[in-house]
Chain A
Amino acid sequence: MHDNANANSLTAVHDHHGEAHAAHNPALLHHFAEPQQQRDAASLGMWVFLGTEVMFFGGLFCAYLVYRQWYFGDFGAASKSIDATLGATNTAVLICSSLTVVLAVWAAQTARRTLLISMLAITMLLGLVFLGIKAVEYKDKFEEHHVPGASFSFENVPIPGHPGQFANPRHAQMFFSLYFVMTGLHALHMIIGLGIFLWLFIMAWKGRFTPEWHTPVEIGGLYWHFVDIVWIYLFPLLYLIDRHP
């Protein structure tokens, strides 16, 4: 049983590869039988990973939900002190970036290299705009002493809809703790996204993507859209708790 199989085993594998080699993309990895399988694996992998990210942010949303319910008034007051216009602008920025991402994927599918490169570049630009606005917001919070810690101060801020009642500074600090953790984690994901898109940009510049193989663009796009979706929820939850006069 062992005698000839030994010498033949390797050659058998190589022959198999030999004939297949002519037909497939050099990007096909060894352990896959065909490109579609590799694409499907990559796509499923990214979707499953996004599933884990849903649960990662989910823990934060859970904490938020509990405390918002307990301290609605105080949270309302705290929420009112962050700039909803900037928040709305950031939301619009990310929505535009999702559009550029989806156009980039289309460009890769239809071999439009210039469009692909420019869409990737604009996506990154919009991402930087988002982070820039976030930086401005963080700076404002720092200056107003709304960053949790020793120098936190939230005195005499009225609860929306309850004139005469002031927000409990301790509960307001809870809001800001959640605010910074949630937007901070989101911003971290944005930065990672920017890194991914920079890599995609470089690859696209070098002409590596073809209509047959542009999987990184697709799955990078999925990641970006997910980060956008998280923000779509963060915006109303953090900025718009209780805005009516």
Chain B
Amino acid sequence: MYFGIWATLLVCTYLTYKLAFIELGRFNAAVALGIATFKATLVALFFMHVWHAREKLTKLVVIAALFFLLLLLGLTMSDYATRLWS
């Protein structure tokens, strides 16, 4: 099963690399980051065994960390994104 995940990860990497050279406008970033998130999720769920975690606490720790990271990024960007509105 690990080999399956490993192969998927390598394919995704290749895909990211190849797609970067194709003009997709604003979606280049979204696609690249989307694939990266998919890969990171696979590593976390299956290599770090979060999927089969004995307790909900492990998942809670992961989600909490991500939540606060998004808070940092999101609220900071809320300043930068709206600076030119006025």
Contacts and interface: CB of A to CB of B under 8 A. Distances in A.
Q: Do chains A and B touch in the complex (CB under 8 A)?
A: yes
B28 A242 contact: yes
B67 to A, nearest CB: 10
Contact of A55 (B23, B43, B72): B72
Contacts of A91: 13
Range, interface on chain A:
35 or more
Interface stretch (A94-102, A129-137, A170-178, A190-198): A94-102
Contacts of B22: 244
Interface in B60-86: 61-62, 64-66, 68-69, 72-73, 76-77, 80
A69 B80 contact: yes
A237 B32 CA distance: 8
Given A96-B6, A240-B16, A55 B32 contact: no
Contacts of B40: 229, 232-233
A47 interface: yes
B23 to A, nearest CB: 4
Interface of B: 2-3, 6, 9-10, 13-14, 16-17, 20-24, 28-29, 32-33, 35-36, 39-40, 43-44, 47-48, 55, 57-58, 61-62, 64-66, 68-69, 72-73, 76-77, 80
Interface of A: 40, 43-44, 47-48, 50-51, 54-55, 58-59, 61-62, 65-66, 69-70, 84-85, 88, 91-92, 95-96, 98-99, 101-103, 106, 161, 221-222, 225-226, 228-229, 232-233, 235-237, 239-245
Given A65-B76, A102-B2, 12 more contacts: A44-B58, A55-B68, A55-B72, A58-B73, A69-B77, A88-B14, A98-B47, A222-B48, A229-B43, A235-B36, A240-B20, A243-B21
